[in-house]
Each structure stands twice: as C-alpha cells, then as structure tokens.
Structure 1
Amino acid sequence: MQKPSYGWLLKWILAAILIAVGVTMFFAQSVVFMVTGMAIVIFSLFRVVPLLKTLNKEVLRTLNLVEILFDIILGGIMIWAGVDAYNTGQLDPVWGQVYKYTLVFVLVLRALVFLYSVVFLGEKTEQPKYWAHIIVLILGAMIVPIENFDHAWVAWLLLIISVLGGGYLIYDGAKGYGTYRRYSAELNQTKQVGKDKKIEKELPKTDQPVIEKDDQDRPFVS
C-alpha cells in the first residue's frame, strides 16, 4: 500500500480557518469591507504585469490600466472604511450604500471593459470567459434595484460559502485520514507477522528433548 500524505491534516486546518473567517465576517461585518477591499486590490494589482506583457495594443493597455486604477482606489476606500469601523466599533449606514455601488461599479466596469475589448478592439477570447463576463454584467445590474442590498448580504453569502467550502474540506480530509489509518493498521499487521515468523525460526525443529550442556558434564552417583 502506498504511503499516504498528511494532506488531510492541512485540509482540516484550512476548513477551520475558512469557517472561522466566515463566522467572523458575519458577526463583525466591518471585516466584510476589509476583505472585499483587499480582494479588489489584490485582483487589480496582480493583473498589471501580465496585462502589460500580453496586450498588443496601446489602447487595450490604457483601457485596462484605467480600470485597474479605479479598482485600486475603490478597494482602498473599502479597506479604510472597514478599519475605521473596526476601530470605532460602529459603521455609518451610508457605507452600506457605498459598498453596494462600489461592488456594482467594479463588476459592471470589468464586464464592459472586457466586452468592449472583444467586440470593438479585436481581442480574442474563449467562450467560457465571454459568458462569464456576461454573467458578471447581469449580476452587477441585478444588484442596483435591490434597495436594501449592502455588506450584510455579502456577509451572509460569504458565511454560506465558507461553511460549504469548510464542509467539503472536512469530508475530503476525513477520506484522507481513513486512508492514513488503514495504512497504519496494515503497517502494524506487517510488523506483527514478521515478529511471529522470527519466533518460529528460533524454535527447535525436533521433538526430542534437548539435553543441556550442564546436565552432560554433571557426574552421576550410583
């Protein structure tokens, strides 16, 4: 049997972290602002170099860099709002609307830049990527008419995702742990069989009694 890895332990640790983060964001919703802001900033910053290296038209590079600049500014505002709310212990209700329209702006702008690049600037793409941006555009448009949409909605969504993701990691880790335990049981069984064979090898192979050396040398008195 192939020696199993300890990946199950890492999956259980990640599941605990994921669920803990989801619960934290649900009860401390200022964290939602920080997480959303960091996600927007990271997504924007790590796209800069690959985009500049692969886009072959100056107008495409300029268009995407403008989008990235707006996203970084909005992401920074979200981070600042989250940190301020966390330190003061209160979040102004107006930030709920700011959060809503920031999310709409980021989603719709990403979809529009992509579609404009494909339709008018001749950028080649794959069908899954094209339809994914259509869904992003529809999602952004659907948020606008929802009057009470704010960071609390996203907190609920992240909690559900974190619990589902954590549950999957726990289940997958449990399967890995089962494989690990079967390997351990087989290893112990192999050691026990080897020990029994060694004992059999050391036993005498004759039915005759063995006369000890001391008995042979001892004088007999008649």
Structure 2
Amino acid sequence: MGKNKFRYGWLVKWILAAILIAAGILMKIYDVEVVYATTGIAIVIFSLARVVPLIKTLKKEAVRTINLIEIIFDTIMGGVMIYVVFSGKAGEQFWISLYGYLLAAFFYARGLIYFVCFYYFEEKSEQLKFWFHIVCLSLGAALLVLTILKRDIISTLGWIVLFISVGGGLYLVYDGYGGYRKYRETSKALNEEKKPKKTPKVEKDLPKPTPEIPEEKEETYIN
C-alpha cells in the first residue's frame, strides 16, 4: 500500500479550468468592468513583482532609477484602473477612452525603456527579449492609433481574453484527465493488491531417544 501514492493535482486543474473558462465568459459579458479590473490587477502584479529582482540584478544606478520610475508609473496606472472599476465609473465614456491611452502608454513605455537601457547603457539581452520589446513598441503605437480613432478596444480585448481563457481551460481539462487516469490506475492497483500468504511454520521434529541395546553377556561353558 505504501507504493501506491494518490495524487489529486487533476482535481485542482479541473477546478482552475472551470474558474478560467467562467472568468473568460464573464469578461465578455461584462467586458468593460472585468477587462478594466483584470488589466489593472495584472499591471500592478507585474510591476511590484519586478522590484526586488531588478534592484538586485541591475548594476548601474541610472538603469535602476529608470526602471523604478517605470514601476511606480505602472503601479499608479494599475491602481487607477482598479479604482475606476470599484467606484462604478468604468462604463463612462471618459474612462473607456482613457483605458486605451493608459494601455498604449504601458506597452510603449516598457519597450522604450528597454531599448534605452539596451542602447545607451549597454545592457545585454537575449534575442527573444529583444523581439518581445519590439512587439511592445508596435502594440503601444497601434493601441494609441486605435484609441484616437475611437475604436472599441475593450470589446476586442474581451474576445481575445475569452479565447485565451477557453483555450487554457481546455488544456487544463486535458492535462487533468491524464492525472485522473493515473489516479484510477492507482486505485485499481490498490484493490487488486493481494495480501501475502503466511507460510506455516514447520515444526522441527524433536530428536527421538535412541533405544539402549542391552549388552550380550558371554556365556561360560564348563568342559
């Protein structure tokens, strides 16, 4: 029984899949409030989680200062988004329009600061990170143009997040299915496990006493 370990990670994955898909659907139904809140929370987490690693790894004081200014700016931006949602102002046209500008500023600032540190302060970087920040610059510029043209960015993001949520949820369901199958195999093995039969103890025969053979007396003959 000690060898059969039951793992319940599949159950956690299925619960997370249900939450993820439900969140994606709710985000599309209540796209303004949920998209605003999700974006704000994501920006705050992304900003605050970078503080300690950046301070410890960046060697140049100027680079640290630039990145800390960006983090403070992003944290304030995310806080404003969260405040707008919980104050019930997310549906107002002013805040809907401002959302596009804030998101464009977030991506553009991230890309710009990266290339400033890369070019002027000679910060080394890997290739994937380089192309990612080019995408950030492009995305920031595109969002700015779409906002100026008064396109519905929030609704588009709602569809994108719904697609990602459903896709991620289905992946978790599939991954959890594999874990559940292993769980059932472990349960089956436990039920089929046979108890070892006890071998009866063989009693050793006690040594039998050897019978004493009487000594033959020599008969004396008289001639």
Cα distance in 1 for partners of 2:188, 2:60 equals 62
Alignment of 1:136-151 (within 5 A): 136-146=136-146, 147=149, 148-151=151-154
- Corresponding residue for residue 14 of structure 1: 16
- TM-fit CA distance, 1:189: 2.0
Cα distance in 2 for partners of 1:176, 1:77 equals 41
- Corresponding residue for residue 205 of structure 2: none
> Aligned-residue CA RMSD in angstroms?
2.1
The answer (yes or no) to whether the contact 2:41–2:78 under 8 Å persists in 1 is: yes
Aligned counterpart in structure 2 of residue 83 of structure 1, from 86, 90, 102: 86
TM-score by length of 2: 0.79
Q: What is the letter of the counterpart of residue 143 of structure 2?
A: I
Structure number with the higher helix fraction is: 1
**Residues 151-173 of structure 1, C-alpha deviation per residue, up to 9 Å, x if partnerless?**
22222211111111000000110
- TM-fit CA distance, 1:99: 0.8
- TM-fit CA distance, 1:115: 0.9
Cα distance in 1 for partners of 2:162, 2:94 equals 23
Q: Extract unaligned runs of 5+ from structure 1.
A: 203-222
**Residues 130-167 of structure 1, C-alpha deviation per residue, up to 9 Å, x if partnerless?**
11111121222222333313222222211111111000
Q: What is the letter of the counterpart of residue 99 of structure 2?
A: Y
Alignment of 1:81-120 (within 5 A): 81-85=84-88, 91-120=91-120
Residues paired across the two proteins, number: 194
TM-score by length of 1: 0.80
Q: Extract unaligned runs of 5+ from structure 2.
A: 201-223
- TM-fit CA distance, 1:127: 1.1
Structure having the higher Rg: 2
- Corresponding residue for residue 180 of structure 1: 183
The answer (yes or no) to whether the contact 2:40–2:82 under 8 Å persists in 1 is: yes
Deviates more, 1:179-188 or 1:156-165: 179-188
Cα distance in 1 for partners of 2:138, 2:4 equals 48
Q: What is the letter of the counterpart of residue 18 of structure 1?
A: L
Q: What is the letter of the counterpart of residue 12 of structure 1?
A: W
